[in-house]
């Protein structure tokens, strides 16, 4: 079997005569496993069924080999299709470009997954899902949600970009400290599935890219490179590569241009005004309604937390909880909520409101709200996203035992866009300080639409990112609203969605969350730690109660604004969706810890607000604490969390956070330090080139 070799400053790449990557050696270590295919191509046949072809479906492959270039040309397909993979050796790494020719109108190309790159299961993989998660060698992902190719809403996996995945790269490394970095260098930010799939004893890394609107004259040429290279280190080193490479992307906002609210560092206080913290079933007004009944609780929290607070309301809608797109007026009317808003503002506090994104509600599963008549009379079925066979479905919170029954709106349609903007303009004109309107639009996503009569390409593609980006841009320009989404906004949407409800809690089924998003984007945006919904399905909260303080420390260490969820009687609860009958965590330790951390945050904004996260330059050693999965599995986490920051002026600081009610010892570069209980210690390391003095 013939082998072809390319060298670059970041490794040596090997491919076989069919263009399949067989290895990538970096610093003497093999970082890639042999790939089963050179590429995968997804087409729609005349019945609109998905047909996947690989290099094995082409009978001939011609190779052109030069010192800095390899080209593999594939012919001999029963549909007369031709494909090509070109690999360039550059200073940045190995750049892969794909091409498909002779694409017939009745067999359109939906997506390209090229190159196909494999790594061993051993080691760790950074998946940039919901701010970042480390995947170990287990099959936990397959047990919880098996991989499949991305497509319509009922089959979409968790790697959607821009969406669940906010970044378009993956990296893998092992105990040798050598690894592989794989990135879509795409400044158009077209729809992708940034994901990984089982491949025998290995894992295949996927940058499945949707091509709708990019096939001209029967030819698709990738407008961007997929970059493959070796690297040394761990997830932070991979993130540093990505951060450096995207820094000049014009879609990013100006560094340090934070909303004034973020500079005051309020604690976000999340609670419902209807029901008992569950999103389903019948619910009525609770002890926090009318709205002003919550003021004593909020004022007491503000006092104990030594901080302004943002009251972020759930189930406030006057229509029905979780009934998009129509949310206004609020329950009880504008005057009732307006009184609450004014009293919050008098004390220097804020009002925020959740909504449920760009979905459409036919009927509520909570009360008798219905838009069925409007749907029929205005023939709104034409405005909903459709699958490849014309099917119309919804992706989340749907069903008689869920929140609602409905569909998802196509945000390339004028009616849908104007409807969303009108609802946001009502809330903004009312004077809400923050509107998380795009809850359920995870990361700001717009799920694939295949409708042939919407005026957009019939297959998903970059047009969807462009539609969503322009919707956000127009909305902010017209309303001036501070907007956010569920999970941090994906890269192309950060400028318009600068303050969002983080969802690292969604990562626990797959692995261990890490603050990869904050490592890359903290200079551009600051989010809050989120409502932690669904956590009780994955972690044993009461079995290892330290998880509450650990999660607070994690959010603080990532540079996030902190948030709490309330149950009844003004008590802080484990997270959203945990039954109010569940015994709450220890209140005094939570309040004390947040107050101390926020004090540090306000004292050192040059690091914890404006700073750039760095890989610690000191050697840090401490013991472990343990969280529990619901299946009883122990999760080891550091007893003290450590993060290194660099200020805009170039100063460096190491922040150590002890989330225990006892003093904990840490060893820094061989020197022992005692970290007081429930506290964070900031160590200035600017004068010692990063080391601890």
For 601, the token pair is 């945050």
Cβ within 8 Å of residue 335, ≥6 positions away: none
Q: Give the number of other CB atoms < 10 A from CB of residue 27.
A: 13
The structure tokens listed for 372 are: 């069925």
DSSP 541-559: TTTSTHHHHHHHHHHHHTT
Question: Pick from 567, 515, 502: which is nearest to 541 by CA?
Answer: 567
In contact, 230 and 11? CB cutoff 8 Å: yes
Count CB atoms within 10 A of the CB of residue 270. 25
pLDDT for res 393: 85
Query: How do residues 85-103 score in pLDDT, each as one tens digit?
Result: 999 999 999 999 999 999 9
- H-state helical runs in 379-527: 414-430, 462-479, 516-521
Cα of 674 vs its chain's centroid, Å: 35
Looking at residue 688, its pLDDT comes to 56
Give pLDDT, residue 690.
45
pLDDT at 548: 98
The answer to whether the predicted template modeling score (pTM) of the entire model surpasses 0.95 is yes
Profile the chain (693 residues) by mean pLDDT over runs of 10 residues: 94 98 98 98 97 98 97 96 98 98 98 98 97 94 83 78 97 97 98 94 96 97 98 98 98 95 96 93 94 98 98 97 96 98 98 96 96 98 96 85 94 98 98 97 95 97 98 98 98 98 95 98 97 94 97 98 98 97 97 98 97 96 96 96 98 98 96 97 79 40
* DSSP H or E segment with residue 407: strand 404-408
8 A C-beta contact, residue 301 and residue 563: no
CB 644 within 8 A of CB 616: yes
The conformational region for residue 437 under phi > 0 = left, psi -120 to 50 = alpha, else beta, is alpha
Q: In a 10 Å sphere around its CB, with 0-12 CB exposed, 13-18 middle and 19+ buried, how is residue 414 labelled?
A: exposed
Q: Helices 295-305 and 334-346 sit at what angle, rounded to 10 degrees?
A: 30
Class of residue 612 by CB neighbours under 10 A (exposed 0-12, middle 13-18, buried 19+): buried
Query: What is the SS3 string spanning 1-65?
Result: CCEEEEEECCEEEEEECCCCEEEEEECCEECCECCCCCCEEEEECCCCCEEEEEHHHCCEEEEEE
Count the neighbouring beta carbons within 10 Å of the beta carbon of residue 690.
15
Q: How far apart are CA 178 and CA 382, in angstroms?
A: 52
Q: Please give the pLDDT value at position 157.
A: 64
- Strands in 434-438's sheet, in edge-to-edge order, are 483-485, 434-438, 350-354, 309-314, 267-272, 563-566, 572-573
d(CA 23, CA 31): 7
Cβ atoms < 10 Å from Cβ of 47? 9
Rounded to whole angstroms, how far apart are CA atoms 506 and 133? 9
Radius of gyration (Cα) for the chain, nearest Å?
A: 25
Q: Which architecture does CATH list for 268-357+417-445+463-603?
A: Alpha-Beta Barrel (3.20)
**pLDDT value at position 693?**
34
In this prediction, residue 691 carries a pLDDT of 45
Distance CA 422, CA 16 (A): 56
- Structural contact between residues 99 and 222, judged by C-beta atoms closer than 8 angstroms: yes
The closest alpha carbon to 118, from 70, 156, 170, belongs to 170
Residue 330: per-residue pLDDT: 98
Cα separation, 350 vs 261, in Å, equals: 9
CA distance linking residue 445 with residue 191, whole number of Å: 9
CA-closest candidate to residue 150, choices 102, 212, 80: 212
669-678: long-range contacts, CB 8 A cutoff, minimum separation 24: 669/618, 669/619, 670/619, 675/640, 678/549, 678/589, 678/592, 678/593, 678/596
Domain ranges of the chain: 268-357+417-445+463-603, 612-688
Q: Residue 517 phi/psi, 5° resolution?
A: -65, -45
The CA distance from 307 to 267, in Å, is: 7
* 3-class DSSP string for 465-505: HHHHHHHHHHHHHHHCCCEEEECCCCHHHCCCCCCCECCHH
Q: Give percent above pLDDT 70 in the chain.
A: 99
Residue 291 DSSP label: G
CA distances from 504 to 83, 131, 139, 338, 585 (A): 39, 6, 20, 33, 20
Tell me the backbone φ, ψ of residue 579, rounded to 5 degrees: -55, 140
Q: What is the mean pLDDT of the chain?
A: 96
CA 39 to chain centroid? 26
d(CA 87, CA 445): 31
């Amino acid at each position: 079997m013939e082998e072809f070799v390319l060298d670059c400053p970041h490794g040596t790449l090997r491919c076989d005569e069919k263009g399949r990557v067989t290895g990538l050696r970096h610093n003497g270590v093999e970082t890639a496993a042999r790939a089963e295919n050179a590429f995968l191509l997804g087409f729609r046949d005349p019945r609109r069924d998905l047909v996947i072809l690989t290099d094995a479906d082409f009978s001939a492959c011609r190779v052109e080999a030069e010192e800095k270039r390899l080209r593999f040309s594939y012919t001999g397909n029963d549909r007369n299709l031709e494909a090509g993979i070109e690999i360039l050796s550059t200073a940045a790494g190995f750049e892969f470009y794909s091409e498909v020719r002779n694409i017939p109108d009745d067999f359109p190309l939906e997506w390209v997954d090229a190159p196909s790159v494999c790594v061993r299961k051993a080691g760790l993989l950074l998946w940039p899902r919901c701010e970042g998660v480390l995947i170990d060698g287990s099959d936990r992902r397959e047990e919880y949600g098996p991989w499949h190719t991305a497509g319509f809403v009922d089959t979409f996996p968790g790697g959607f970009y821009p969406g669940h995945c906010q970044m378009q790269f993956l990296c893998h490394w092992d105990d040798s400290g050598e690894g592989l970095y794989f990135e879509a260098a795409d400044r158009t930010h077209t729809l992708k599935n940034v994901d990984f799939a089982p491949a025998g004893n290995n894992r295949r890394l996927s940058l499945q890219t949707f091509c709708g609107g990019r096939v001209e004259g029967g030819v698709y040429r990738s407008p961007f490179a997929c970059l493959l290279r070796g690297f040394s280190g761990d997830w932070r080193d991979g993130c540093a590569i990505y951060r450096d490479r995207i820094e000049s992307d014009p879609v990013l906002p100006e560094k340090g241009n934070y909303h004034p609210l973020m500079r005051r560092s309020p604690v976000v206080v999340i609670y419902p005004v209807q029901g008992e913290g569950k999103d389903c079933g019948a619910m009525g007004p609770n002890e926090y309604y009318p709205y002003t009944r919550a003021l004593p609780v909020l004022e007491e929290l503000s006092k104990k937390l030594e901080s302004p607070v943002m009251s972020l309301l759930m189930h406030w809608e006057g229509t029905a909880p979780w009934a998009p797109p129509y949310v206004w007026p609020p329950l009880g009317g504008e005057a009732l909520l307006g009184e609450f808003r004014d009293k919050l503002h008098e004390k220097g506090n804020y009002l925020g409101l959740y909504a449920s994104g760009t979905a459409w509600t036919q009927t509520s599963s909570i009360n008798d709200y219905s838009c069925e008549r409007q749907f029929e009379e205005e023939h709104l079925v034409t405005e909903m996203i459709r699958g490849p066979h014309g099917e119309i479905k919804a992706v989340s919170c749907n069903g008689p035992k869920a929140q609602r029954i409905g569909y998802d709106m196509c945000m390339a349609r004028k009616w849908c866009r104007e409807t969303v903007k009108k609802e946001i303009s009502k809330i903004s004109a009312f004077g809400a300080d923050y509107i998380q309107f795009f809850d359920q639009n995870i990361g700001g996503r717009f799920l694939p639409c295949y409708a042939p009569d919407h005026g957009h390409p019939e297959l998903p593609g970059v047009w969807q990112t462009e539609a969503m980006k322009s919707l956000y841009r127009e909305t902010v320009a017209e309303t001036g609203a501070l907007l956010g989404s569920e999970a941090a906004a994906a890269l192309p949407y950060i400028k318009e969605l600068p303050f969002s409800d983080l969802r690292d809690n969604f990562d626990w089924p797959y692995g261990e969350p890490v603050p990869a998003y904050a490592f890359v984007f903290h200079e551009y945006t600051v989010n809050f730690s989120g409502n932690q919904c669904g956590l009780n399905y994955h972690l044993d909260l009461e079995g290892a109660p330290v998880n509450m303080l650990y999660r607070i420390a994690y959010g603080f260490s990532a540079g996030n604004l902190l948030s709490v969820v309330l149950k009844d009687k003004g008590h802080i609860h484990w997270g959203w969706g945990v039954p109010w009958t569940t015994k709450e965590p220890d209140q005094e330790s939570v309040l004390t810890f947040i107050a101390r951390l926020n004090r540090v945050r306000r004292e050192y904004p040059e690091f914890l607000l404006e700073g750039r996260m760095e890989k610690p330059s000191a050697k840090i050693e401490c013991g472990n604490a343990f969280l529990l999965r619901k299946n009883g599995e122990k999760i080891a986490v550091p007893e003290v969390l450590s993060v290194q920051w660099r200020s805009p002026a170039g100063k460096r600081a190491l922040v150590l956070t002890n989330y225990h009610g006892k003093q904990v010892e840490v060893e820094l570069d061989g020197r022992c330090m005692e970290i007081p209980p429930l506290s964070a210690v900031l160590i200035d390391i600017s004068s010692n080139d990063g080391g601890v003095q």
